[in-house]
Amino acid sequence: MNKKLFTLASTATVAAVALAGCVETKSDVKENDSATTETAGAKPVIELLGMASSEQDMNIVRDQLVKNGFDVKLNIQPDYGSFTAQQDAGNFDIAISSWTTVTGNPDYAVRGLFKTGGDYSRTSDETVDKLIDEASTLTGDEAKEKYKELEQALVFDNAYIAPLYISQKFQGIYKAEVNPDTVRLPKSRAQAWETISFNDEGKNASETLVLHQALASLTSLDPVKANDGSINTLNTNMYVRLVNLSDTDEVVSEGSLSYDHAVAENNEEYYFVLRDDINFAKVEGEKAVDTGDLVSAEDVVFSLNRAKDETSVPDHRTYSIHENIDTVEIVSDITSLESVKTADGKSVLEELSDELPAAISEVVTDEKDVDNAAGKYQVVKLTTPNPFPQVLNYLAHQSGGIVSEAAVSAVNTFDVASYDPNTDIAYGDQSTVTEGASYANHLAASGPYILVKKNDYEATFVKNPAYQAGTENEPKIENISVRFIQDNDSALSALRNGEIHVLQSVPETKTDVVEGDENLQLKTADSNAVSYLLFNTSGRETAKSADLRKAVLHSINQDEFISYYQGKKKPAVSTVSPLIDTGLKLEADSKKVKEFLKAYNESK
């Protein structure tokens, strides 16, 4: 059964976007003379941080601020690493930032970004923290109202961020070779490779599908140790999860490790009946081989326990995503599935029993006893300390990927507390798959593909021969190359020349190029990507004065961004905007800017 359970909206990658080499340029836009006059002649200096790739957005923000009586200093950084270094050093008042909610649920859109102590948070506000926690337990209209309260506190009451726009997705396909109907463009989840096919299906076994990503340095191939654009798509296709997101952000069992899943009526217990047609793959002689090791409930328990434990691996990047998991266990008594009811009054056993190879006659705790055809299944039970239906969205995140307990334990023999990256090798270290003297591929993939090797030019993947063979979810293409091309224009040229087959992110300003090429097809979809200004709340004037932040906030005119991008952007209020329409709206208002600047100057 293709189970569709609650997701408040739809669901990528964390991406704070920024800019390069400390450059200051002068705006051609004349400032609003009355703004300066009515704020006692004060001209606050605002340092705007961003990356070179976002320079046009920086210019628009600068011009809007200059019009409203600010002086603006641009701090443009060449790449994401340089940007984050500047951000961490506090060398900014506002920073061009962006966030994509790759899990399709609004809690992920705010918890790590704005809750005190969150992975990416620069905010510490008890009211905001309380609203985030309260909203996470609600559904429907109640959730909508609570997220409206959160947006009000986050944006309008305190101006911790200033929204710019919501992006759309534009995908380019080299239709001369690849069947566009087989290439998915989900709203939130990373690109799914297993469905893609060449027009001539006979080529699937012999030809290499060439895909693209900008970043060549991979943070980690251990799914819990990274959460960024360098590995999200790669790890999503290397590790299967308990559930997936559909292209429209519904939580489904389709294409996952579970045949089906069920939620107890208390929204604190979650059950998954596992399939037995996925084994781990490993690499031998640059080929993928079936290890014969079932991706089992034991591996699920191991994987999710380490996912939620901050101390399980050095430099754990994703534990906060799974902090609402309380326990993970293998069900040993079938009668317990009969006694627990779901919200529609069925027993969990009934809910899990739809469209299985055979009816559940026995639940087993040892993978050696699994035999779905004979009615013997493993069932995993997960609990949360409080009602938290959004936990399912987090399980669909790449960090919820199931790893091999045996393979990971064999590599991670070091003491986590004393881990030394100069001498210790952790599971998923990119050096172990990089061509050269360091190559010692130890990966064990539970997903449709496994990474064989990489260099600065590309990463090479091959099909997992033991991934749902003979089903509709079996990968179509044997060999995939992910080509590393940082420059967008170069990537687009490679697509037009047939050097890559799918360009997942076509710039808004270049969609006409794709549409005008007879060899290409453009696909468009909504996304959960929001760009916004992040205020520095430590050490700068923006940290001391909400009035100053609000003056910046009400200087932002989103219509100008939408016009520049030829209508291919949408208005935003917060990172929740693509998921829930709270009814709030940011309006540019020069009168409010003057009032807030005046209040700021009088308080100095």
Using a pLDDT cut of 70, give the percent of the chain over it: 93
Of 19-23, 231-235, 430-434, the least confident = 19-23
Are 427 and 534 found together in one domain?
no
Residue ranges of alpha helices (H) inside 331-455 are 334-339, 348-352, 391-395, 405-411
Q: Is the Cβ–Cβ distance between 407 and 238 less than 8 Å?
A: no
What pLDDT score does 508 carry? 86
Task: Indicate which CATH number applies to the domain containing 438.
Answer: 3.90.76.10
Closest by CA to 128, choosing from 153, 145, 105, is 153
Distance of CA 285 to the CA centre of its chain: 33
Q: State the DSSP code for 579.
A: T
- Report CA dihedral (468, 470, 472, 473) to the nearest 10 degrees: 20
- The residue from 404, 430, 447 where one domain ends is 447
User: Does the residue 310 lie in any domain?
Assistant: yes
User: Does the residue 471 lie in any domain?
Assistant: no
Of 7-11, 210-214, 337-341, the least confident = 7-11
Between the CA of residue 28 and those of 25, 49, 199, 498, what are the distances in Å?
Answer: 10, 19, 51, 41
- Order of all β-strands in the sheet with 449-454: 208-213, 479-484, 458-463, 449-454
- The residue from 447, 481, 499 where one domain ends is 447
Between the CA of residue 406 and those of 92, 303, 311, 432, what are the distances in Å?
Answer: 46, 11, 19, 18
User: Does the residue 4 lie in any domain?
Assistant: no
Round to whole Å and give the CA distance between 347 and 563: 53
Task: Indicate which CATH number applies to the domain containing 77.
Answer: 3.40.190.10
Are 239 and 162 found together in one domain?
no
Q: What's the CA angle centered on 64, arms 67 and 90, to 5 degrees?
A: 115
Are 158 and 270 found together in one domain?
no
Residue whose structure tokens are 């609650």: 6
User: Does the residue 330 lie in any domain?
Assistant: yes
Using a pLDDT cut of 90, give the percent of the chain over it: 83
Q: How confident is the model at residue 513 (pLDDT cuts 50, 70, 90)?
A: very high
What pLDDT score does 28 carry? 52
User: Does the residue 84 lie in any domain?
Assistant: yes
Round to whole Å and give the CA distance between 323 and 205: 42
Q: Is the Cβ–Cβ distance between 253 and 244 less than 8 Å?
A: yes
Does the pLDDT at position 226 exceed 80?
Answer: yes
Query: For residue 117, what are the contacts with CB-CB under 8 A and spacing of at least 6?
Result: none
| Helix (H/G/I), strand (E/B), else coil: 75 | strand
Kind and range of the H or E element at 168?
strand 161-174
Are 322 and 403 found together in one domain?
yes
What pLDDT score does 302 carry? 98
| Helix (H/G/I), strand (E/B), else coil: 544 | helix
pLDDT in tens, 138-176: 888 999 999 999 999 999 999 999 999 999 999 999 999
User: Does the residue 322 lie in any domain?
Assistant: yes
Are 73 and 161 found together in one domain?
yes
Q: Which two tokens stand for residue 87?
A: 């951000």
| Helix (H/G/I), strand (E/B), else coil: 42 | coil
- Give the amino acid at 270: Y
Are 553 and 439 found together in one domain?
no
Are 275 and 153 found together in one domain?
no
Q: Is the Cβ–Cβ distance between 175 and 521 less than 8 Å?
A: yes
Count of domains observed in the chain: 2
Residue whose structure tokens are 């920086």: 58
User: Does the residue 11 lie in any domain?
Assistant: no
Round to whole Å and give the CA distance between 434 and 6: 41
Q: Is the Cβ–Cβ distance between 258 and 273 less than 8 Å?
A: yes
Q: How confident is the model at residue 26 (pLDDT cuts 50, 70, 90)?
A: very low
Are 299 and 383 found together in one domain?
yes
Q: How confident is the model at residue 473 (pLDDT cuts 50, 70, 90)?
A: very high
What pLDDT score does 370 carry? 98
Bridge partners (DSSP) of residue 229 are none
User: Does the residue 22 lie in any domain?
Assistant: no
Q: HSE of 278 in the Cβ direction (CA atoms, 13 Å)?
A: 31
Are 300 and 443 found together in one domain?
yes
Are 312 and 442 found together in one domain?
yes
Are 273 and 369 found together in one domain?
yes
Does the pLDDT at position 252 exceed 70?
Answer: yes
What pLDDT score does 39 carry? 45
Give the end-to-end CA distance of the chain in Å, rounded to a whole number: 63
pLDDT in tens, 366-401: 999 999 999 999 999 999 999 998 999 999 999 999
Bridge partners (DSSP) of residue 94 are 48, 535
Say if residue 553 is exposed, middle or buried (CB neighbours under 10 Å; 0-12, 13-18, 19+).
buried
Q: Which two tokens stand for residue 312?
A: 């399980």
Are 292 and 385 found together in one domain?
yes
Q: Which residue range is the domain that position 134 belongs to?
A: 33-167+528-603
Round to whole Å and give the CA distance between 505 and 369: 45
- The residue from 427, 447, 467 where one domain ends is 447
